[in-house]
Homo-oligomer: A and B are copies of this chain.
Amino acid sequence: MSGWLDEVHWDAQGLVTAIAQDAVSQRVLMVAYMNRESLTLTAETGIAHYWSRSRQKLWKKGEESGHLQTVRELRLDCDGDVIVMQIEQAGGIACHTGRESCLYRRLEAGQWVVTDPVLKDPAHIYTPGAGG
């Protein structure tokens, strides 16, 4: 029953763009990438799994930080190359900088201005050497 996976238009690297949106506030929390394995695991477990391009490995979001993402809904766009997830963000922190959202900078008068506070010092989020 993997026909739904075949409807995804994987790019040349076998990836699809995945957007995590807070299921309640509807804020976009982060944007990352999934390969076939990570999308399969996301659907099967209800916990967001990505593909880390920088580390070139499967990335269960929150595995080190505890900031897991519980997935309430998965949507696919018309071109099949974008996934939008409705999620519940454990700890209320999606960004590796310790902020709620990775979209914490707003363009104001020709400058990117930080609008969001750091909720938790990243030094206290991660164990040494661990990723997001």
Interface residues of A (CB under 8 A from B): 1, 3-4, 7, 17, 19, 21, 25-28, 30-31, 43, 73-79, 82, 84, 95-97, 99, 102-107, 110-112
Contacts and interface: CB of A to CB of B under 8 A. Distances in A.
A1 B107 CA distance: 13
A106 B1 contact: no
A94 to B, nearest CB: 10
Contacts of A102: 77-79, 82
Contact of A75 (B30, B97, B99, B103): B103
B103 A84 contact: yes
A74 to B, nearest CB: 4
8 contacts: A1-B110, A21-B28, A26-B27, A30-B77, A76-B107, A77-B102, A78-B95, A78-B97
Contacts of A19: 19, 28, 31
Nearest to A79: B102
A112 B4 contact: yes
A40 B97 CA distance: 27
B78 A96 contact: yes
A48 to B, nearest CB: 13
A105 to B, nearest CB: 5
Q: In the complex, which of the residues A77, A97, A99, A110 has the most CB atoms of chain B within 10 Å of its own CB atom?
A: A77
